[in-house]
């Protein structure tokens, strides 16, 4: 199985360790096409268009999209929207942070599987349940 993991990169660096742990868990179920999201941002020489085109090719190639949506991100929302258009299965994970929860546009979309978690262990159990069925 090819897994596209999506998480806020430019605005979500505070969550990079969480992304890393989720990616490590996802590797048990297949190939994670976007492993780099689990590391701190490093300067690269790619243009915005090159990043867009590479990532869209990965979304097309993927069998499932898993998104960590606790930190709002235009890019993550865009990827989810494109994956929805492609009829990809999509799993969204989120935490409530300082009393704030994720967007109603995500949680309210019946074509997405959305799950709240408080600990990484809960997130791993959710992924196991979703990816082994």
**CATH number (domain holding residue 67):** 3.40.50.450
**Is residue 5 part of an annotated ligand binding site?**
yes
Q: How many domains does the chain have?
A: 1
45-53: long-range contacts at Cβ-Cβ below 8 A with a sequence spacing of 24 or more?
A: none
**Is residue 117 part of an annotated ligand binding site?**
no
Measured CA to CA, the distance from residue 130 to residue 81 in angstroms comes to: 20
Q: Using one digit for the tens of pLDDT, what is the confidence trace for 27-45?
A: 999 999 999 888 777 777 8
**Is residue 54 part of an annotated ligand binding site?**
no
CB neighbourhood size of 69 (10 A): 24
**Is residue 4 part of an annotated ligand binding site?**
yes
**Is residue 79 part of an annotated ligand binding site?**
yes
**Is residue 9 part of an annotated ligand binding site?**
yes
**Mean pLDDT for the chain overall:** 92
| Residue 12 binned pLDDT confidence (cut-offs 50, 70, 90) | low
Domain residue limits at 62: 2-131
**Is residue 103 part of an annotated ligand binding site?**
yes
**Is residue 10 part of an annotated ligand binding site?**
yes
**pTM attached to this predicted model:** 0.93
């Amino acid at each position: 199985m090819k897994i596209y993991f999506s998480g806020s990169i430019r605005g979500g660096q505070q969550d990079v360790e969480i992304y890393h742990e989720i990616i490590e868990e996802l590797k048990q179920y297949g190939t994670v096409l976007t492993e780099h999201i689990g590391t701190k941002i490093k300067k690269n020489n790619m243009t915005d268009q090159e990043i867009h085109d590479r990532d869209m090719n990965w979304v097309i190639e993927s069998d499932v999209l898993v998104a960590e949506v606790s930190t709002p991100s235009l890019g993550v929302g865009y990827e989810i929207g494109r994956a929805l258009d492609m009829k990809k299965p999509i799993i969204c994970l989120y935490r409530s942070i300082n009393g704030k929860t994720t967007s109603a546009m995500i949680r309210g979309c019946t074509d997405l599987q959305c799950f709240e978690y408080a600990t990484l262990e809960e997130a791993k159990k959710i992924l196991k349940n979703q990816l082994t069925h």
